Chain A
Amino acid sequence: MKGKVELMAPAGNFESLMAAIQGGADSVYFGIEQLNMRARATMNFTLEDLPEIARICKENGIKSYITLNTIIYDHDITLMRNIVEEAARSGIDAVIAADHAVMQIAKKNKVAVHISTQANVTNSETVEFYSSFADVMVLSRELSLQQMKNICNTIEKENITGPSGNLVKIEVFAHGALCMAVSGKCYLSLHTTNASANRGACVQNCRRKYKVVDIEDGHELELDNEYIMSPKDLCTLPFIDRLIETGISILKLEGRGRAPEYVKTVTTCYREAIDSYYNGTLNQEKTADWMARMDEVYNRGFWGGYYLGQELGEWTDASGSKATTKKIYIGKGNNYFSKSGIAEFLIEAYGVSKGDRVMVISNKSGVTETVITSMHVNEEGEKDTAVKGDYCAFPLDVPVRTSDKLYKIVESENAAPAVNTINPNAIASW
């Protein structure tokens, strides 16, 4: 019997890293500098953050992986080598690579390699090819469950081992945004704005509305959905048992560009789902509850991706999120009274009232949610409402720092959740 699958969560910054830990991730992946698929992210970690990330992960008993999965030019080699060497020194557990140069340099530096989904591993022959470099390989996101299963079976049958001498482990994406093209093979962004998706600079042309015009007679086609290229988000929760039973070892959550509360919610739901699977308590009520919780954070509606072999055509009908809630910035941390467990905030926008659902985001304690049951305002004692300029204090389990931010959680305009089209019993095309 295989061990429990590993749950890998995204960490775009320290807040999300803490949120992933809170959510119960077994490992996290992150990018630094410009050589990762989120090169545009203003919040990318830098080389100097590596030891701190490794330290936090070790302290919390989770593994840390660094993404170095863009295409690499000659002028990138030194930076790439520096990153690999620093990763080795800091005790980062592996480098996620798509370019052979990265694999080679990581191997020389004795840093474990994971083959990125950007390398499009779609068959067992390729698994064998990469096995001289890597112990873990992320499969292409465009395979079906049956194809994943066949690859996992072949690894066992043919005893395909990685550099460690152990059987190669297969990792798949369990949740998050999908590309409209085979990952890493889309050139829309490059053609329209010179911004190569394969250098992490995708401008997401697929997420916009389009018209279709007949060039010959100028007639515009009528479309019932103008987002003709924007796929819904992948969600495997409703069939997570079948996904685990394919023999994969690692479930990865997409979302290095997402907010910390997204990371915490999605990681928590998948953590609970995986644990329920192993203790035999997975059921429909639980799944419905997880889906409702995930509806609250950023999403474009969910579908089962290509895994169930369904027909294509699961396009979203919105430009952005269909989340049922959104967060509004209220103010920042001011003080924490640890004896009484009271946190004080300075209100800088809008206001808060008793009964409000609020969220604190911190680079030390991640994401904490609570409902305000009692509140002190300035020196005026117990009050029901605090407004801009007020100092307001209420009970909170975690210490608050001045760098922490307070948000109010409110229903968004999309209060009715998106229609999710995942039919776990879909007849697959295989």
Chain B
Amino acid sequence: MVTVIHQRKKCIGCNYCAEIAPDRWRMSKKDGKSTLIGAIEKKEFWIARIPSHELSENLEAAKACPVNIIKVN
């Protein structure tokens, strides 16, 4: 299992992560920010455990995020 962390508050809603890893990221129609599917919040950090077959596309999403708020480890 791999952990993905999203600092959601800082998201500028550019849509990259949802484009690259659509199974894990969705743009919220409510506030225009992206949502990490299956994540729980801990002090403004949204954390999700993902299966390893999702690793590569989430790494790519992390790399693409223009404000560097996605961490995969």
- In the complex, chain A residues whose CB is within 8 Å of the CB of B14: 194-196, 199, 201
Task: Mark the stretch among A33-41, A56-64, A259-267, A343-351 that contacts chain B.
Answer: A33-41
B28 within 8 A of A: yes
Distance of B31 from chain A, by nearest CB (Å)? 5
A79 within 8 A of B: yes
Within 8 A of B (CB), among A359-408: none
A193 within 8 A of B: yes
Q: Contact: A34 with B27, CB < 8 Å? A: no
B45 within 8 A of A: no
- In the complex, chain B residues whose CB is within 8 Å of the CB of A301: none
Q: Contact: B13 with A195, CB < 8 Å? A: no
Q: Contact: B66 with A201, CB < 8 Å? A: yes
- Per-residue A-contact encoding for B9-31, CB less than 8 Å = 1, 0 else: 01111111000000000011111
Within 8 A of B (CB), among A189-236: 193-196, 199-201, 203
Within 8 A of B (CB), among A66-103: 73-80
- In the complex, chain A residues whose CB is within 8 Å of the CB of B15: 73, 75
- In the complex, chain A residues whose CB is within 8 Å of the CB of B27: 73, 75
- In the complex, chain A residues whose CB is within 8 Å of the CB of B10: 42
Interface SS of chain B = loop
B38 within 8 A of A: no
Chain B residue nearest in CB terms to A34: B12
B64 within 8 A of A: yes
Distance of A209 from chain B, by nearest CB (Å)? 22
Interface SS of chain A = loop
Q: Contact: A75 with B28, CB < 8 Å? A: yes
Chain A residue nearest in CB terms to B31: A79
- In the complex, chain B residues whose CB is within 8 Å of the CB of A75: 13, 15, 27-29, 32
Which of A34, A42, A203 is in CB contact (< 8 Å) with B32? A34
Q: Contact: A35 with B66, CB < 8 Å? A: no
Q: A34-B13, A196-B14 are in contact. Are A40 and B67 (CB under 8 A)?
A: yes
Sorting the interface of chain B by its residue count into under 10, 10 to 19, 20 to 34 or 35 or more gives 10 to 19
- In the complex, chain B residues whose CB is within 8 Å of the CB of A40: 12, 67
Report Cα–Cα, A75/B30, bound state, in Å: 8
- In the complex, chain B residues whose CB is within 8 Å of the CB of A39: 12
- In the complex, chain A residues whose CB is within 8 Å of the CB of B37: none
Q: Contact: B12 with A200, CB < 8 Å? A: yes
Q: A194-B65, A195-B66, A201-B67 are in contact. Are A34 and B11 (CB under 8 A)?
A: yes
- In the complex, chain A residues whose CB is within 8 Å of the CB of B28: 75
- In the complex, chain B residues whose CB is within 8 Å of the CB of A200: 12
B49 within 8 A of A: no
B33 within 8 A of A: yes
Q: A75-B27, A194-B64, A196-B66 are in contact. Are A201 and B32 (CB under 8 A)?
A: no
Chain B residue nearest in CB terms to A73: B15
Q: A75-B28, A78-B32 are in contact. Are A201 and B12 (CB under 8 A)?
A: yes
Q: Contact: B12 with A194, CB < 8 Å? A: no
Distance of B32 from chain A, by nearest CB (Å)? 4
Which of B32, B64, B65 is in CB contact (< 8 Å) with A76? B32
Q: List A residues at the B interface (Cβ < 8 Å).
A: 33-35, 39-40, 42, 73-80, 193-196, 199-201, 203
30 residue pairs bridging A and B, Cβ less than 8 Å apart: A33-B32, A34-B11, A34-B12, A34-B33, A39-B12, A40-B67, A73-B15, A73-B27, A74-B29, A75-B15, A75-B28, A75-B29, A78-B29, A78-B31, A78-B32, A79-B13, A79-B30, A80-B32, A193-B66, A194-B14, A194-B16, A194-B64, A194-B65, A194-B66, A195-B66, A196-B66, A199-B12, A200-B12, A201-B12, A201-B67
Q: Which 4 A-B pairs have the closest CB atoms?
A: A195-B66, A75-B27, A79-B32, A76-B32
